[in-house]
């Protein structure tokens, strides 16, 4: 992959594919993380004298112009984050975009309207990609979090312009490579979240790569039930018991230790302040549901992390949005952060809920790397080739 250092950007019109798909409420961006992560690439290009033309999708307008899905408020937020003027063009191709680009001076930053307002974007259409490419002299992709999409602005365009990875894309690829490419061992994975069904491929890939796989969240209930434990009213997926047993068997064949909860925190309902009880997984009451790992399970996981040299984490260990069921997630997050600060653990985390959970635990900055990618992070954990990355490697 060619990186920014190899691009002589001065005076060039650089099309920068960013991921400006940020959460918005009442016209205000509510989480600036993705924008903040983008600033090093924008500053570097702008300081080098490039005309920085930012391309991105926003939400899922399905090829139509949906005014509520305009990137205009995001361009304003980006200007505030950068502390500088950022232009906006109300279309990403055609006369309006062309005029806005023609009016740029070296160092200027311009955001073009949502690429998904055009059906050609998601169709990876060559003609649409050509219309985009006509606006630039070089292409930089800094949108790892959109790299699982083979769309015109992430894939087709790389066949039309010299293509480079931006600094965020580069950091993301380096962090992910460090934890699953050629990691320091033992390497541990923590996988949590609600459903096994959404993480089957991920679990299947990880058992072949990591030395320890800790399973938490409601998806652990499916594994416990598959092992013959009664899980009461816990969320679980009865259809997946065979699949879960298959994953456990494969892990054993491949020398991957699976860590399942030995005790859990249960309650009659998921509600803040509800009465709770800590029980071994062998005696979950019929009317109760497991909502968090218990203290023994948490301590066991922390002890394993103490031996590990690398960690990849996706998904919370309990219903962390509803205290006290955040306890295990917070303790393990703090433990992993401490080991990272001490220099014994390389810690990489990603996925929407995971970022929220680490922020809740107050350790977002202490991990070696936290990816802001959701679907792309999961597909990468599944071992899939991401088209946006493959296109840069070509």
Residue 144 Cβ vs ligand 3PG, minimum distance, rounded to whole Å: 10
Q: Is the peptide bond before 324 cis (omega within 30 degrees of 0)?
A: yes
149 known ligand binder: yes
User: Would you count residue 204 as binding ligand 3PG (CB under 6 A)?
Assistant: no
The footprint of ligand 3PG on residues 4-63 (CB under 6 A) is: 19, 21, 60
Tell me whether residue 64 or residue 341 sits nearer to ligand 3PG (CB atom). 64
Q: Choose, by CB under 6 A, the member of 13, 37, 149, 331 that binds ligand 3PG.
A: 149
* Options 62-70, 81-89, 145-153, 232-240: segment touching ligand 3PG (CB under 6 A): 145-153
Flag whether 34 is marked binding.
yes
Q: Is 141 known to sit in a ligand binding site?
A: no
Asked if 340 and 347 touch (Cβ cutoff 8 Å), the reply is yes
Of the chain, the end-to-end C-alpha distance in Å amounts to 8
In this structure, what DSSP letter does residue 59 have?
A: S
| Minimum CB distance to ligand 3PG smaller for 146 or for 293 | 146
Residue 263, SS3 per DSSP:
strand
Q: Are 190 and 301 in contact (CB under 8 A)?
A: yes
Q: Which of residues 345-384 bind ligand 3PG (CB under 6 A)?
A: 374-375
DSSP state letter for 256: P
Is 358 labelled a binding residue?
Answer: no
- Tally helices (H) and strands (E) across the chain: 14, 17
What does each C-alpha distance from 44 to 14, 75, 247, 326, 335 come to in angstroms? 12, 18, 45, 39, 35
Q: Is 137 annotated as a binding residue?
A: no
352: annotated active-site residue: yes
Catalytic residue among 107, 246, 375, 383: 375
140 binds ligand 3PG (CB under 6 A): no
**Using CA atoms, how far apart are residues 293 and 280, in angstroms rounded to an integer?**
10
Whether cis (ω within 30° of 0) applies to the bond prior to 265 is: no
Rounded to a whole number of angstroms, the minimum distance from the CB of residue 255 to ligand 3PG is 33
SS3 280: strand
Of the residues 352, 359, 383, 384, only one is catalytic, namely: 352
Which residues does 209 contact at the CB level (< 8 Å), separation at least 6?
A: 180, 187, 383
89: three-class secondary structure by DSSP: strand
Q: Of residues 12, 13, 17, 34, which has the active-site annotation?
A: 34
The residue range among 70-78, 142-150, 269-277, 286-294 that interacts with ligand 3PG, by the rule CB under 6 A, is 142-150
Is residue 228 annotated as part of the catalytic site, yes or no? no
- Is 72 assigned a ligand-binding role in the annotation? no
Non-local CB neighbours of 70 within 8 Å, separated by 6+ positions:
58, 113, 114
**169 vs 289, beta carbon nearer ligand 3PG:** 169
145 is a contact residue toward ligand 3PG (CB under 6 A):
yes
Q: Which residues are annotated as a binding site for substrate?
A: 19-21, 34, 57-60, 116, 149
Q: Which residues are annotated as a binding site?
A: 19-21, 34, 57-60, 116, 149, 199, 321, 351-354
Summarize as ranges the residues that interact with ligand 3PG (CB under 6 A): 19, 21, 60, 145-146, 149, 374-375
**Residues classed as catalytic:** 34, 195, 352, 375
């Amino acid at each position: 992959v060619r990186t920014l250092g190899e691009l002589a950007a001065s005076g060039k019109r650089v099309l920068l594919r960013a991921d400006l798909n940020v959460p918005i409420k009442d016209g205000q961006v509510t989480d600036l993380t993705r924008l903040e992560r983008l600033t090093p690439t924008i500053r570097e290009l702008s300081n080098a004298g490039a005309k920085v033309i930012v391309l991105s999708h926003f939400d899922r307008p399905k090829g139509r112009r949906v005014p509520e899905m305009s990137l205009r408020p995001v361009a304003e937020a980006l200007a505030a984050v950068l502390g500088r003027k950022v232009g906006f063009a109300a279309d990403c191709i055609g006369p309006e975009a062309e005029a806005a680009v023609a009016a740029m001076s070296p160092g200027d930053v311009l955001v073009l309207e949502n690429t998904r307002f055009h059906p050609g974007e998601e169709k990876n259409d060559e003609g649409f990609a050509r219309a985009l490419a006509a606006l630039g002299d070089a292409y930089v992709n800094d949108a790892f979090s959109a790299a699982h999409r083979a769309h015109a602005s992430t894939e087709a365009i790389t066949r039309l312009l010299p293509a480079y990875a931006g600094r965020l894309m580069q950091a993301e690829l380096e962090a992910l490579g460090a934890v699953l490419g050629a990691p320091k061992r033992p390497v541990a994975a923590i996988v949590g979240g609600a459903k096994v069904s959404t993480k089957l491929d991920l679990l299947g890939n990880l058992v072949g790569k990591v030395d320890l796989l800790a399973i938490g969240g409601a998806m652990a209930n499916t594994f416990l039930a598959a092992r013959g434990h009664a899980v009461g009213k816990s969320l679980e997926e009865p259809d997946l018991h065979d699949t879960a047993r298959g994953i456990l068997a494969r892990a054993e064949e491949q020398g991957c230790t699976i860590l399942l909860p030995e005790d859990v925190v249960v309650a009659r309902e998921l509600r803040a302040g509800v009465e709770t009880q800590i029980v071994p997984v062998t005696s979950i009451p019929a009317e109760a549901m497991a909502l968090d790992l218990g203290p023994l399970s948490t301590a066991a996981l922390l002890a394993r992390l103490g031996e590990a040299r690398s960690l990849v984490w996706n998904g919370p260990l309990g219903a962390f949005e509803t205290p006290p069921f955040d306890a295990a997630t917070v303790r393990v997050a703090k433990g992993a952060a401490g080991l990272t600060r001490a220099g014994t653990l390389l810690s990489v985390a990603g996925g929407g809920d995971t970022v929220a959970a680490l922020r809740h635990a107050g350790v977002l900055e202490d991990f070696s790397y936290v990816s802001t990618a959701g679907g792309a992070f999961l597909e990468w954990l599944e071992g899939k080739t991401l088209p946006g990355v493959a296109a840069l490697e070509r």
